[in-house]
Amino acid sequence: MRSSRHFWATSPSMIPPITTALLAAAIFVADTATDLEIAVAVFYVAVVLLSLNFCRTRGVWLVFAGCVALTVLSFALTRTGSLQSGLINCIISISAIGATTYLALKIESAKAAVHEARAQLAHVARVTTLGELTASIGHEVNQPITGVVTSGNACLRWLSAQPPNLEKAKQAVERMLRDANRASDIIGRIRGLAKRAPPEERKWLSINDVILETLALTRSEIEKSGISLQMQLAEDIPLALADRIQLQQVILNLTINAIEAMSADGPRQLLIRTVRDGTGSAIVAIHDSGGGLEAGKIARLFDAFYTTKREGMGLGLTISRSIVEMHGGRLWAETGTPRGAVFQFTLPIEGKTVA
Ligand code: ADP
């Protein structure tokens, strides 16, 4: 049997508010029932920390106020023990709860800033590459194509004139051929650009590591969208000779597409799998539970500029496929079972195993 690592990186709801309320109630009962010398109220710090899972800043401060009120109430209701020790314990507990609340909120806001920065980085990495490409391809190819259309119209006019002007029509056809060749040269140059993967950029790397590094960029997006992420990474995959940045780009594109496909209501499950296929390749599969793919349109998804998104550029899959093919692999899409889509690619692997 193939060994795999399974873990749920995010679970949509962790400790629910009701459990936190029950904990607060238990602390209150214990604090009231025990002597004033025993500072049970200090455990309210746990209540504050748990409230971070489901409250925003103001809510956490309200929880803090509630814990302070319960601490004071317990102090007033407790009949046994030294009043002086009780007062000192009460002050210590309230200070601990206050300090915990303040520090926890500070840490949370720092974490939010890091998540935001990561999301921006992932977005910028994608948009910069694709945006630059779109702009240049669009501009470069558009000019000769407009030329072809203009000369085509002129040719038609010369041919339908009475009598037809064959010399002028011939010149128009020559201009059409020249422009069409220019467009084809531009596309050839762009292809050459994409194929230019200098050998020194290719290194022996673990595909699982590249997946984990890339997911770190989208983790906050995944968490924010309430998506539960499952990873099944086979541990017996040998190293692949590949360009790390380009592989990251493929995984990032496929992951972002999967996240975007799951933005509607419904189950939000993302599964990323790696396996050895037994023919010298690793397979990376990205399953989502989104709207899925129309069987008749699957082949078109990989066409340049094909997009169904309002802000889409329709280049992510085209570029991803060319990167995978440059590495000697294959990238394809299938409809998921019972729903969603599965994008898979293969990558040739050698006998080297992860150190
Ligand atoms: P873009 O994301 O800019 O639209 P892509 O080339 O990455 O460009 O994707 C092309 C199209 O393929 C998308 O507009 C979408 O219709 C479809 N697609 C890609 N990934 C998925 C997916 N996981 N589920 C459903 N449709 C998808």
For 67-105, write each residue's pLDDT tens digit: 999 999 999 999 898 899 999 999 999 999 999 999 999
Distance, in Å, from the CA atom of 55 to the CA atom of 20, rounded to the nearest integer, reads: 12
Output b/e per residue, 220-248; b: 16+ Cβ within 10 A. Answer: bbbeeeebbbebbbbeebbbbbbbeebbb
Same domain assignment for residues 240 and 271 = yes
The reply to whether 125 falls in a domain is: no
The reply to whether 18 falls in a domain is: yes
Q: Which of 171, 195, 219 is the last residue of a domain?
A: 195
pLDDT for 5 beyond 70:
no
Distance, in Å, from the CA atom of 242 to the CA atom of 326, rounded to the nearest integer, reads: 10
| Cα 185–chain centre separation | 35
Same domain assignment for residues 297 and 332 = yes
pLDDT score of 133? 60
The reply to whether 126 falls in a domain is: no
DSSP state string for 110-126: HHHHHHHHHHHHHHHHH
Identify which of 218, 222, 257, 307 to mutate to test ligand 1's pocket (most ligand atoms within 8 A of the CB): 257
The reply to whether 1 falls in a domain is: no
Distance, in Å, from the CA atom of 190 to the CA atom of 184, rounded to the nearest integer, reads: 10
Same domain assignment for residues 150 and 97 = no
Distance 187 CA to ligand 1 centre (A): 22
Same domain assignment for residues 303 and 184 = no
Q: What is the mean pLDDT of residues 48-60?
A: 89
What does pLDDT average to over the chain?
84
Least confident of 49-53, 88-92, 254-258, 260-264: 260-264
Closest atom of ligand 1 relative to the 311 alpha carbon = 3
Q: Is the dihedral of CA 45, 46, 51, 53 positive or negative?
A: positive
Q: Coil, strand or helix: which one is 332?
A: strand
43: amino acid identity, one letter: F
Same domain assignment for residues 253 and 350 = yes
Distance 270 CA to ligand 1 centre (A): 15
pTM of the model: 0.55
pLDDT score of 351? 60
pLDDT score of 2? 37
The reply to whether 151 falls in a domain is: yes
Q: What is the mean pLDDT of residues 27-50?
A: 93
The contacts of residue 100 (CB under 8 Å, 6+ apart) are 45, 48, 49
Same domain assignment for residues 60 and 99 = yes
Of 285, 199, 209, the C-alpha closest to 241 is: 199
pLDDT score of 61? 94
Q: In terms of DSSP bridges, do strands 269-276 and 281-288 run parallel, antiparallel, or are they unpaired?
A: antiparallel
The residue whose C-alpha atom lies closest to atom 25 belonging to ligand 1 is: 292
Contacts for 102-109: CB closer than 8 Å, 24+ residues apart = 104/48, 104/49, 104/52, 104/60, 105/52, 105/57, 105/60, 108/52, 108/57, 109/57
Same domain assignment for residues 191 and 205 = no
Same domain assignment for residues 285 and 205 = yes
Question: Where residue 161 sits, what CATH number does that domain have?
Answer: 1.10.287
- Provide the 10 A C-beta neighbour count for residue 122: 21
107: amino acid identity, one letter: I
Q: Which of 119, 153, 175 is the last residue of a domain?
A: 119
Tell me the percentage of the chain whose pLDDT exceeds 90.
Answer: 48
The residue whose C-alpha atom lies closest to atom 21 belonging to ligand 1 is: 257
Same domain assignment for residues 152 and 90 = no
Which of residues 220 and 325 earns the better pLDDT score? 325
Q: Is the dihedral of CA 126, 127, 128, 134 positive or negative?
A: positive
Identify which of 123, 301, 305 to mutate to test ligand 1's pocket (most ligand atoms within 8 A of the CB): 301
Ligand 1 site residues (CB inside 6 A) read 253, 257-258, 261, 288, 290-291, 293, 301, 306-309, 312-318, 341
Of 286, 202, 200, 198, the C-alpha closest to 244 is: 202
The reply to whether 3 falls in a domain is: no
22: domain range? 12-119
pLDDT digits (tens, 9 = 90+) for 151-164: 999 999 999 989 98
Same domain assignment for residues 91 and 172 = no
The residue whose C-alpha atom lies closest to atom 13 belonging to ligand 1 is: 307
Same domain assignment for residues 282 and 218 = yes
Least confident of 39-43, 63-67, 68-72, 118-122: 118-122
Of 298, 301, 280, 258, the C-alpha closest to 348 is: 280
